[in-house]
Structure 1
Amino acid sequence: MTEPKERLVQWLRDAHAMEEQAETILSGQIERLENYPEIRERMNTHLEETRQQAKRLEQCLDRIGDGSSTLKDAGGKLIAFGQNISGIFAGDEVMKGSLASYTFEHM
C-alpha cells in the first residue's frame, strides 16, 4: 500500500468512527428530550444526516478495497456511551449537551 493511500484509509476510518460516535451521542440525547420537541426534531434530522455520512464513508472505504475499523468504531461508541451517562446527572443537560455537540461537530 502506498503512503498516500494509507493516510486516506486512516483518515476515512477515523471519520467513520467519529460518525459512529456522533450517532451514539445523538441517540442518547434524543431519548431524553421529550420536553423539547423542536430540539428533538432537529436532532433527529441531524441523526439521519450522521447515519448517511457514515454510510458514505463506508462506501468510500469499500471502493478503495478497505473497510471501517471495528476497534476505532467500538472505541468511539464506548466514549459516547460514557458521555451519554454523564448527561443524565446534569441539571442543565440540554444546554451542556448542546455545547458538547457543537464542539464535537466542529472538531
Structure 2
Amino acid sequence: MTSREKIIDWLNDAHAMELALEENLVRHAKDAEGDVTVQARIEQHVEETRRQAEIVRGCVETLGGEVSGSKDAFAKMFGAMQGMANRPMADTMVKNALADYAAEHFEIACYRALIDACEEIGAQDVSVRLTEILREEEAMARFLEQKLPGAVRTALADAA
C-alpha cells in the first residue's frame, strides 16, 4: 500500500466517523431541549458535521480514491446505537457532554494526523481543507468544555 492509499484509507475512516457522529449529535440535540444555547450549538455542529463529511469525501476523491460504502454503513449503524445508549437517564446531559467532548478530541487528533500525512505527500490542497475542519472541531470542544460544569451542577441539583 502506498502512502497515498494509506491516507485515502484514513480519510475513509474520518468520513465514516463524521457520519456516525452526525447520528449521535442529532439525538443529543433532542436531549438538550431544556437548554436552548446547548441545543442550538449542537444543531449548528450537526450541520458542520454534515458539511465536514462532504469535505472529507471531496478529499478522498481529490487523492484518487472512493468513499467506502461499507465503512459508512457500519458507522451510521454504530452512531445510531451509541446515540441511544444514555437514554433515558437523569444525567443524560452530563453523559452526552462527556461523550461529545471525548469525540471532539478524538476528531481533533484524527484531523491533526491527517493534516500531517497530507503535508508529507505534498497534498497541500487537502491539508488546507482538513485544517478548516480541525478549527471547527476545536471550537466545538471549547464550547463543550465551557458547558460541562453547568451540566454537572444541574444533574447534581436534580439528584438532590
TM norm structure 1 = 0.90
The 5 A counterparts of 1:12-91 are: 12-91=11-90
Query: Which amino acid is the alignment partner of residue 27 of structure 1?
Result: V
Partner Cα separation in structure 2 for residue 73 and residue 105 of structure 1: 19
Aligned residue pairs total 106
Q: How far is the alpha carbon of 1:101 from its aligned partner?
A: 0.6
Larger C-alpha radius of gyration, 1 or 2?
2
Partner Cα separation in structure 2 for residue 89 and residue 44 of structure 1: 20
Higher relative contact order (CA 8 A, sep 6+): 1
Query: Which amino acid is the alignment partner of residue 104 of structure 2?
Result: E
Where structure 2 has 5 or more consecutive residues not aligned to the other structure, the ranges are 107-160
Q: How far is the alpha carbon of 1:15 from its aligned partner?
A: 0.5
Q: How far is the alpha carbon of 1:33 from its aligned partner?
A: 2.0
Q: How far is the alpha carbon of 1:14 from its aligned partner?
A: 0.4
Q: Is the 8 A contact 2:31 2:92 kept in 1?
A: no
Alignment match, 1:93: 92
Specify the SS of the correspondent of 2:85: helix
Q: Is the 8 A contact 2:19 2:75 kept in 1?
A: yes
Q: How far is the alpha carbon of 1:89 from its aligned partner?
A: 2.4
Structure 1 residue ranges, 4+ long, deviating more than 4 angstroms after superposition:
none
The superposition leaves residues 11-34 of structure 1 with CA deviations (integer Å, 9 ceiling, x where unpaired) of 110010111111111011112222
The superposition leaves residues 66-102 of structure 1 with CA deviations (integer Å, 9 ceiling, x where unpaired) of 2211111111111111111112122110110000011
Q: Over aligned residue pairs, what C-alpha RMSD do you find?
A: 1.3
